[in-house]
Structure 1
Amino acid sequence: MEFFSTDRLIIRSFRESDATDLFAYFSAPRVNCFADEQLTTLEEAVKDAGEKSKDQSQFAVCLKDNDLLIGNLFAMQEEDTFNVGWNFNGRYEGKGYAREAAAGLFDYLFVQKEGRRIYCYVEDYNTRSQKLCERLGMRKEGLFMEYISFVKNDDGTPRYENTLQFAILKKEWKKLNDVI
């Protein structure tokens, strides 16, 4: 199912046929928050793509000209608020795809899903995602010190992450984009 499209992208449901492309970037997650989603075999990727295909909070980001999966978005609903995030294959960085996909997601959530507020969490070392949040017009709302652990230290103890929270309201998005 296609949710929406942008100039260069189609945002749709996952398919099991996305497994190889999903494996390409989930076999070595670049940020710790995706460590628990790491895939070690193509068979795991087939299973994960199948599970994602049934999850309405998961969105496959594909190139419009060849339907190649280059990343994913997620949006978990909490009444009229959405917790969002993104993960992209590093081979497609620096081309504006993440911003294009996330902006399309924001339009979709504010207009089609009648969202009022969108927020996301970003690790303090993940400067690329922080800059993306800022380019999307999101404001930094806070810093949670040693907020959560996704990985272990060498001695087996949890390694806690400092986590920033960014957010934007529908009225702020509308003012910035004049689309709603």
Structure 2
Amino acid sequence: MGSEPSPPQLLPPPLPLRTERLVLRTVVASDREAIGDYCAKPEVTRYLPFPALDDEGLTKRLDRLVAATAPSTVGEFLALAVEFDGVLVGDLMLRFSARHGDDAPPSIAELGWVFAPEYAGRGFATESARALIDLAFGHYPLHRVMAQLDPRNVASAALCERLGMRHEAHTREDFADRDGTWGDTAVYGLLRREWAAL
């Protein structure tokens, strides 16, 4: 009896990505101070799945981000540092979350983002997330890109809408928050054909 076929290996993404104002590149160990600065702020991590990071938490997160350079299968992700004029202003994630068939490449991915609050309001999140969506559909064989967020995070909800994503669902009390209370989830999605029409 033979083993089950494995999904085809995906090529590493063509990095860095350059937009009008930004450079999106892999995360490196020397990004520790900048990432640690904004991820230590409770107002930044308020709606994220991790609390404000202490030194140990930062080490674990940075190790994961630095290693996330060439995802190929479900569960793996790509992490990108976002630079403006040589300064790291945030980071993005594209995580493969599902595939259509056991031997198929990933077909659905989830977007995520974290930005330093002092750079808010300048369009950096929109510009960089749009570039990541273009990479998601232009480089990978994805059918759908999605984002899941706390509905109280109105800034991220507005970002999803600026990216052309549709508000598809609002599930009630489906995750346990860090303080022990139950929280809701808002789901936004964008299909390949919708992206192509943007």
TM-score by length of 1: 0.86
User: Residue 93 of structure 2 is aligned with which of 74, 86, 92?
Assistant: 74
1:31/1:145 Cα in 2 relative to 1: closer, same or farther (>3 Å)? farther
Mapped to 2, the partners of 1:165 and 1:35 lie a distance apart of: 15
Partner of 1:15: 28
1:8 CA drift (Å): 1.1
| Aligned counterparts, 1:134-153, within 5 A | 134-152=161-179
Mapped to 2, the partners of 1:132 and 1:119 lie a distance apart of: 12
Q: Which contiguous aligned blocks of 4+ residues in structure 1 show a shift greater than 4 angstroms?
A: none
Mapped to 1, the partners of 2:166 and 2:17 lie a distance apart of: 25
1:61 CA drift (Å): 1.2
- 2:65 pairs with 1:38: no
Query: Which blocks of at least 5 consecutive residues in structure 2 are unaligned?
Result: 1-13, 70-76, 99-105
Amino acid corresponding to residue 88 of structure 2 in structure 1: L
* Number of aligned residues: 168
Query: Which blocks of at least 5 consecutive residues in structure 1 are unaligned?
Result: 153-157
> CA-atom RMSD, angstroms?
1.8
SS in 1 for 2:122: coil
- 2:113 pairs with 1:86: yes
TM-score by length of 2: 0.78
Identity of aligned residues (%): 28
Partner of 1:59: 80
1:51 CA drift (Å): 3.0
SS in 1 for 2:132: helix
Q: Which moved further from structure 2: 101-110 or 53-62?
A: 53-62
Question: Contact between 2:81 and 2:88, CA under 8 Å: does it hold in 1?
Answer: yes
Provide, for residues 124-158 of structure 1, a one-character-per-residue CA deviation record: whole Å limited to 9, x for no partner: 11000001111111101110101112311xxxxx1
Partner of 1:24: 37
Higher share of residues assigned helix? 1
Question: Contact between 1:13 and 1:53, CA under 8 Å: does it hold in 2?
Answer: yes
Partner of 1:171: 193
Mapped to 2, the partners of 1:175 and 1:52 lie a distance apart of: 32
Question: Contact between 2:47 and 2:153, CA under 8 Å: does it hold in 1?
Answer: no
SS in 1 for 2:127: helix
SS in 1 for 2:142: coil
